[in-house]
Amino acid sequence: MRCRSCRQPAVVDVPRHNAAFCGPCFERHCREQVNRAIDHFGMLRHSQPVLVAVSGGKDSLALWDILLELGYQADGLHLRLGIGDYSDASTEAARAYAARIGRSLREISLPDDLGFDIPTGAAASRRTPCSACGLSKRHLFNQAALDGGYPVIATGHNLDDEAAVLLGNVLRWDLAYLSRQRPVLPAADGFARKVKPLVRLGERETAAYCVLRGIDYVVEECPMAAGNRHLGYKDALNQLEARSPGSKAAFYFGFVDRAAPLLSGQLDDAAGELHPCPSCGSPTVSEICAFCRLAAQAVAAR
């Protein structure tokens, strides 16, 4: 196998592009894919600081690294979830990378700063752990971005993640979720812009990128993920992809380019009048925002 760009021996193959690359050309390929996503969807501007949600896994560390390589003012934000050894290892990886590159890494600890962890919050609010976790991340990342003067938050969702979420939403024809499933969610009153610059890279690619760049990421999976539906959708898509490379990208980008525009506005129809949450000030349609409800239930259950 030879590198598509320079004809040196290849170390990584990317069947979706019917290509293989040597180390340096693969790193360039990853940066080009991210650059293309940023340009195509108008995600970022070099003049604006961006807050990167850094879990310590391969995707978020690759994202932070690539954004810095592309010249963006990218700072990290790490949320400690209180999920045992997994959280300790994640925090260690995030801190080690931040120290290596000398960039600021803000940290919020659910157990220390808010008084609960994800397993407790999930049980108290009768949500699945991933639902409690997702709600907490969305809320706290948004608040940290607004407080810190960052107009935009970047997350490490990759093509595999987005295609799996899309499959789940399509299987249920969940139009409200489908209408929000875009690589860019524009800013609104009380909400920073949300962008997903890794949508053109698969998780095999972000892992290979980290290995080639010498970035130590937390390899173990979150123990809460075991058996969740998302993993099942990923497996199903991986089987399709193995039989016909490129189908995952065709599925996801076909949706983004052709179906998503038809759905914009669905969410607005379903949403009620927004007002500030009396507890945290975030815009909400409920009396108290969903995160403050969850936090109150979790703290009460201790």
Which positions touch ligand Q46 (CB under 6 A)? 118, 129-130, 133-134, 222, 224-225
CA distance 142 to 192: 6
CA distance 198 to 236: 21
Question: Residue 12: helix, strand or coil by DSSP?
Answer: strand
256 interface partner picked from Zn ion, ligand Q46, none, CB below 5 to 8 A per type: none
Given the complex with ligand Q46, which of 138 and 193 has the nearer CB atom?
A: 138
CB of 136 to Zn ion, least distance (A): 12
Strand intervals (E) in 6-125: 12-14, 19-21, 50-53, 74-80, 105-109
Given the complex with ligand Q46, which of 225 and 285 has the nearer CB atom?
A: 225
Per the document, the length of the chain is 302
133 interface partner picked from ligand Q46, Zn ion, none, CB below 5 to 8 A per type: ligand Q46
CB of 118 to ligand Q46, least distance (A): 5
- Contacts of residue 60, defined as CB under 8 A and 6 or more positions apart, other chains included, come to 52, 53, 54, 94, 155, 156
CB of 222 to ligand Q46, least distance (A): 3
- 77, 54 Cβ separation under 8 angstroms: yes
CB of 115 to ligand Q46, least distance (A): 18
279 interface partner picked from ligand Q46, Zn ion, none, CB below 5 to 8 A per type: Zn ion
224 interface partner picked from Zn ion, ligand Q46, none, CB below 5 to 8 A per type: ligand Q46
